[in-house]
A and B are shown apart, each in its own frame.
Chain A
Amino acid sequence: MAERAQPWGDHVAAVFIWTAAAVVTSVFVWMLADIVWNGAGQISWEFLTAPTDDAGRAGGIGPILVSTAMILGVCMAVSVPLGVGTAVLLSEFTGTNVTFGRLVRRSLDVLAGVPSIVFGLFGNAFFCHVLGLGFSILAGGLTLACMVLPILIRSTEAGLRAVPNEYRMGAAALGISRTSALWHVLLPAAAPGIVVGLVLGVGRAIAETAALLFTSGYVDRMPGSLFDSGRSLSIHIYDLSMNVAGGSANAYASALVLVALLVPINAGISWVADRWLHRRLVR
């Protein structure tokens, strides 16, 4: 009986797996086509640069893009030094203190799992209230920095670990200080890992909405400084499609812009990672 059931099971499994893949693919295509179809019509230079009007129903997304870029800028300016520094400590300096390294790693694992809305709560309580930044681009950027740290640290650390140990030994044998070896040899050699982390971090930050709702706020005017509230692209999409009747056309257009920013980012990471892997295999 069992023997006869086997080929039958084989067919059922194959059909199921091909169907699953087909369904996932068609939903993906459907979603993307829907956004392109409904969004492409509105996209123009005018749309990308003009200020928003009538709660976003009319006008463009100029100030939104500026706010998004400023939030990203704050996020990366804070998270990159912290992230690279921590990664260097974890991969190059923990030999002396294993417990401390383990502690840092464990806390990063937890940080990576914290839901974005909880980051929003924390950012609101800490940056907006305790530090007195209010709803501002600075508060939003800092909140996002906390969020992208685990991603940055993981790939930078992976990059550093992939650097052959011979470079470290060679540098030490020449009497080169660890600081110089890091700066001139190890970090450049780990650059692909850092780039991947950077790009992943930007991708995560640009996609984030919930953590920004109560930190950078909703204001859709052109921000004058980092202390102004600024509305990110993702919040704009949320607000237009949820709260503004008649906003769906511009919501689609903004969504298309967001996807258009993200897809090259994702493709870019795969490319860098592939090339890097290839180079390492060839060598």
Chain B
Amino acid sequence: MSPSHRDRALGWVLRATAALVAAIVVLIVAFLVVESAGVLRKLGPLRFLTDPSWHPTSGSFDLTAMLLGSLLVTVGAVVLATPAGVASALFCRYYAPAPLAKLYGRMIEVLAGIPSVIYGMWGLMVLVPLIGKWQPPGPSLLAAVLILTLMILPTIALFSDAALAKVPDRYVRGAAALGLTRWATLRGVVLPAARSGLFTGVLLGMGRAIGETMAVLMVCGNVVQTPGSLFDPIRPLTANIALEMGYALGDHRSALFVSGLVLMGMVVVLVGTAELVSRGRLHG
């Protein structure tokens, strides 16, 4: 083959490759839709919100308790991880002496790479018994929130760090020249300037929290109920899929795909918003 033919052939091969890769997302959505279509057509979407309970084998498909579970866990984790994550980034960039900052940064990176199943195991073996001693039974909304906080903290910290790195030095020097204290500089100048980056990090952390399965599954108790307190066990959507997919058949299986579709929808909205924010079309 002549070189120019080879180039053209390569171009087409690469285009086909990229098309295949791009098709994966379409395929995922298509499969979720097709697999959940059965039960959706039969029962209609409303039944998932209005049924009295989640007893899929006897035709009762209420998802609200688990949706609420997912929501509570996510909100709790984001509320705790945001200040801690941003503080971690500020620590690295403005408070810690250089060697300590480097060490701490490395630690956050390692933390980001630790598998969720390890967080879950540690939560199950250490955290849950501790909570159990204080307020039985132990596996609870609180345990899930704490473990998830630990898991999304690196995401938020790394994004915040990147956002802080983009704030021009002259802002900080300018503020220092005005005699502002360190915190006044950070609060008044640096954090506002890094706002959209921080917000992007929080949104992505939220996406990670809502989709997280293993860590939550192992510490949340997995009781389908609306929790009355922080110490009650709960079951989020993700854990439900993981627990029941192994034996689910027919409408039950289909209903699990419905919850997958719901999860996917929430994550797409979060990722989309994060993208808009990071491109500056929206202000956080």
Contact = CB atoms under 8 A, between A and B. Distances in A.
Interface stretch (A47-55, A103-111, A221-229): A103-111
What band does the interface of chain A fall in when counting residues whose beta carbon is under 8 Å from B?
Answer: 35 or more
A114 B245 contact: no
Contacts of A153: 21
B113 A124 contact: no
B55 interface: no
B111 interface: yes
A27 to B, nearest CB: 6
Contacts of A213: 242, 245-246
B219 to A, nearest CB: 10
A120 B150 CA distance: 24
Given A122-B32, A208-B115, A248-B125, A86 B14 contact: yes
B95 interface: yes
A123 B1 CA distance: 39
A242 B210 contact: no
A276 B124 CA distance: 40
What band does the interface of chain B fall in when counting residues whose beta carbon is under 8 Å from A?
Answer: 35 or more
A16 interface: yes
A43 interface: no
A122 B28 contact: yes
B210 A17 contact: no
A144 to B, nearest CB: 12
B87 A16 contact: yes
Interface in B248-284: 256-257, 260, 263-264, 267-268, 270-271, 275
A35 B122 contact: yes
Interface stretch (A57-65, A159-167, A190-198, A258-266): A258-266
Residue among A118, A248, A267 with the highest chain B CB neighbour number at 10 A: A118
B95 A23 contact: no
Given A109-B275, A179-B3, A207-B114, A126 B246 contact: no
Contacts of B96: 21
Contacts of A178: 7, 10
Contact of A24 (B153, B207, B218): B153
A21 B45 CA distance: 45
Interface of B: 3-4, 6-7, 10-11, 13-15, 17-22, 24-28, 31-32, 34-35, 83-84, 87-88, 90-91, 95-96, 104, 106-111, 113-122, 124-126, 150, 153, 180-184, 186-187, 204, 207, 210-214, 217-218, 238, 241-242, 245-246, 256-257, 260, 263-264, 267-268, 270-271, 275
Given A115-B267, A116-B211, A258-B117, 16 more contacts: A6-B181, A6-B184, A20-B83, A20-B84, A25-B104, A34-B125, A86-B18, A89-B18, A107-B25, A114-B25, A118-B264, A122-B32, A207-B114, A207-B116, A214-B246, A241-B124
